[in-house]
């Protein structure tokens, strides 16, 4: 039996959900919720310095791909190389580049795959600009000439250390960029900290995505081409002290989520600074295990939704093991259960601030929100405020500051008198508050 082509099937998902599936996890037959994925990246199709491609273990994954295709999931081959010298040969030598592209086309065609995601990491600084852009351009033009529906994607780093990367140019030739929002701390770290800090006093997901020009330009022009990739693994350090940021004595490993769940030792803690959980215990020295769970990932998914990106990515499928909570979280955040029935008399059961629309905007945008019914709702309502702030935290406008009854509301914000830039709008209701970002672009 061969591999069947993709069956176009409408999925009840609000965003793209991409998961890498490494061959070392595939051979263990991990339980996969096809209803909660749009794309799977088969990993790895390794390429050498001559552009020759090797296949994953136990390939072809015929039954698996057929099942995924029947559920409308696109299967992308992941072309992989982490050697900077070999990558330079691949992307700058015309003969080698053509050889690799031809091999990619052959694999996609023979196995009815739906595209490619390129995972080239640790490039020489000089190759992070035009050389890699030119390679992706040539690859994309060739792939799209075969079938416009085939997808081309690229994994990008969270931090543009030397400002050599041109993420906007890469986005022009890709269907999406998979931003690797992880490995902020690892085997190289001198102090302890999380793999994927949402916030913090140093580099973190919020800073690299929202506040730096690197991705801000793409978010403004091509937000539908950004996937924020998050980890299903953590990092284990041995340190001299028991607090975050302690000096690292030894890097132990990157444990997978399922392995962390089975740890029976350690004190579970929550970092308000980084918005991630961690474990600690003492033997001869202190052990610190930093990781993401359903609570911290929920905050990261909300961050992705609030920034209006195409969706989220996962490294890696199978790392969750037999534990269902990470699948349940995807369902909670991205599965659309809407019935299409609007009950005008229903009272909202949640406090929710929606993303403004349009975004970016000029000069007006609409903000919608709901406030729920309290068990002892005051007769004349509860105070609600909706305030606009600039990047410095200064109040730019007050849209609402009055008592309101439970229900759904929308308000138009006209920023005609404000300069272009990034703004935040904060809704406060009782003890609840929520903040979202918007961009005024003239």
Q: What is the pLDDT of residues 8-36, one digit of tens each?
A: 988 999 999 999 999 999 999 999 999 99
Alpha helix locations (H) across 52-188?
A: 62-70, 84-92, 94-110, 130-146, 167-173
Greater model confidence, 436 or 245: 245
Contacts of 213 (CB under 8 A, 6+ apart): none
Mean pLDDT, range 157-172, rounded to an integer: 93
What would the two tokens of residue 316 be? 């890696």
Domain that holds residue 375: 352-440
Mean pLDDT, range 353-371, rounded to an integer: 89
Q: State which of 299, 334, 369 marks the end of a domain.
A: 334
The verdict on 30 and 58 lying in the same domain is: yes
Greater model confidence, 343 or 69: 69
Whole-angstrom CA distances from 305 to 185, 300, 385 are 25, 9, 22
Percent with pLDDT over 90 in the chain = 71
CATH number at residue 398: 2.60.40.1930
Residue 10 lies in a domain: no
In whole angstroms, what is the distance from residue 74 CA to residue 213 CA? Answer: 31
Residue 339 lies in a domain: no
Strands 311-315 and 226-231: parallel
The verdict on 167 and 107 lying in the same domain is: yes
The verdict on 111 and 190 lying in the same domain is: yes
Residue 8 lies in a domain: no
Residue 4 lies in a domain: no
Residue 380 lies in a domain: yes
In whole angstroms, what is the distance from residue 292 CA to residue 381 CA? Answer: 39
Residue 5 lies in a domain: no
Contacts of 202 (CB under 8 A, 6+ apart): 193
139 has a pLDDT exceeding 90: yes
What pLDDT does residue 340 have? 39
Mean pLDDT, range 390-405, rounded to an integer: 86
Least Cα distance to 366 among 393, 386, 390, 383 occurs for 386
For helices 94-110 and 84-92, the axis angle rounded to 10 degrees is 90
Buried b (16+ CB within 10 A) or exposed e, 318-337: bbbbebeebbebbeebbbee
The verdict on 141 and 272 lying in the same domain is: yes
> 134-138, 409-413, 435-439: which has the highest mean pLDDT?
134-138
What pLDDT does residue 343 have? 41
Q: State which of 334, 366, 395 marks the end of a domain.
A: 334
The verdict on 286 and 398 lying in the same domain is: no
Measured in degrees and rounded to the nearest 5, phi and psi for residue 328 equal -60, -35
Query: How many domains, the chain?
Result: 2
Q: State which of 300, 334, 368 marks the end of a domain.
A: 334
What pLDDT does residue 203 have? 87
Residue 340 lies in a domain: no
State the residue for tokens 């005609």.
416
Mean pLDDT, range 392-396, rounded to an integer: 83
284 has a pLDDT exceeding 90: yes
The verdict on 114 and 240 lying in the same domain is: yes
The verdict on 357 and 433 lying in the same domain is: yes
The verdict on 293 and 436 lying in the same domain is: no
What pLDDT does residue 381 have? 60
Residue 420 lies in a domain: yes
What is the distance, to the nearest Å, from the Cα of residue 231 to the centroid of all Cα atoms in its chain? 9
The verdict on 425 and 314 lying in the same domain is: no
CATH number at residue 241: 3.20.20.80
The verdict on 371 and 324 lying in the same domain is: no
Mean pLDDT, range 314-343, rounded to an integer: 82
Return the HEC string of 353-392: ECCCECCCECCEEEEEEEECCCCCCCCCCEEEEEEEEECC
Buried b (16+ CB within 10 A) or exposed e, 220-258: eebbebbbbbbbbbbbbbbbeebebbbebeebeebbbbb
- Please, what is the average pLDDT of the chain? 91
Half-sphere CA count of 279, side-chain side, radius 13 A:
21
The verdict on 239 and 272 lying in the same domain is: yes
85 has a pLDDT exceeding 50: yes
Mean pLDDT, range 124-144, rounded to an integer: 98
What pLDDT does residue 221 have? 80
Q: What is the pLDDT of residues 250-269, one digit of tens each?
A: 999 999 999 999 998 888 99
Decide: 229 and 311 in contact? Cβ < 8 Å.
no
The verdict on 324 and 367 lying in the same domain is: no
Mean pLDDT, range 67-93, rounded to an integer: 98
Q: What is the pLDDT of residues 170-228, one digit of tens each?
A: 999 999 999 999 999 999 999 999 999 999 977 899 887 765 567 888 888 888 999 99
């Amino acid at each position: 039996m061969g591999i069947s082509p993709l069956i176009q099937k409408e999925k009840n998902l609000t965003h793209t959900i991409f998961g890498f599936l490494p061959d070392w996890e595939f051979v263990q037959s991990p339980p996969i919720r096809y209803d909660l994925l749009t794309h799977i990246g088969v990993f790895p199709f390794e390429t050498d310095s001559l552009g020759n491609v090797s296949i994953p273990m136990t390939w072809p994954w015929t039954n698996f791909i057929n099942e995924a295709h029947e559920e409308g999931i696109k299967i992308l081959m992941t072309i992989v190389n982490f050697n900077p010298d070999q990558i330079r040969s691949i992307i700058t030598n015309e003969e080698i580049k053509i050889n690799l592209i031809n091999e990619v086309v052959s694999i996609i065609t023979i196995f009815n795959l739906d595209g490619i995601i390129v995972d080239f990491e640790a490039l020489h600084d000089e190759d992070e600009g035009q050389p890699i852009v030119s390679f992706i351009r040539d690859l994309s033009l060739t792939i799209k000439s075969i079938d416009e529906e085939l997808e081309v994607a690229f994994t990008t780093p969270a931090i543009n250390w030397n400002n050599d990367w041109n993420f906007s140019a890469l986005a022009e030739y890709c269907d999406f960029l998979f931003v690797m929002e992880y490995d902020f701390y690892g085997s190289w770290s001198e102090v302890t900290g999380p793999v994927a800090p949402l916030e913090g006093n140093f580099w973190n997901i919020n800073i690299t995505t929202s506040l730096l020009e690197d991705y801000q330009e793409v978010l403004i022009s091509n937000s539908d081409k950004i996937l924020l990739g998050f980890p299903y693994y953590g990092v284990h350090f041995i340190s001299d002290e028991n607090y975050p940021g302690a000096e690292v004595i030894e890097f132990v490993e990157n444990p997978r989520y399922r392995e962390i769940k089975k740890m029976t030792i350690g004190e579970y803690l929550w970092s308000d600074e980084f918005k991630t959980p961690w474990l600690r215990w003492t033997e001869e020295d202190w052990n610190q295990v930093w990781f993401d769970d359903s609570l911290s990932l929920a905050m990261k998914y909300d961050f992705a939704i609030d920034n209006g990106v195409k969706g989220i990515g996962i490294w890696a499928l199978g790392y969750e093991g037999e534990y269902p909570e990470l699948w349940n979280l995807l369902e909670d955040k991205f599965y659309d259960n809407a019935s299409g029935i609007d009950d005008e008399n229903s009272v909202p059961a949640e406090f929710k601030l929606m993303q403004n629309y349009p975004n970016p905007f000029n000069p007006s945008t609409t903000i919608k929100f709901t406030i729920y019914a309290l068990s002892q709702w005051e007769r004349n309502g509860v105070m609600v405020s909706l305030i606009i702030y600039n990047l410095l935290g200064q109040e730019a406008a007050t849209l609402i500051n009055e008592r309101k009854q439970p229900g759904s509301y929308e308000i138009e914000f006209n920023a005609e008198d404000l300069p272009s830039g990034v703004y935040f709008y904060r809704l406060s209701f009782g003890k609840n508050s929520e903040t979202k970002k918007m961009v005024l672009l003239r």
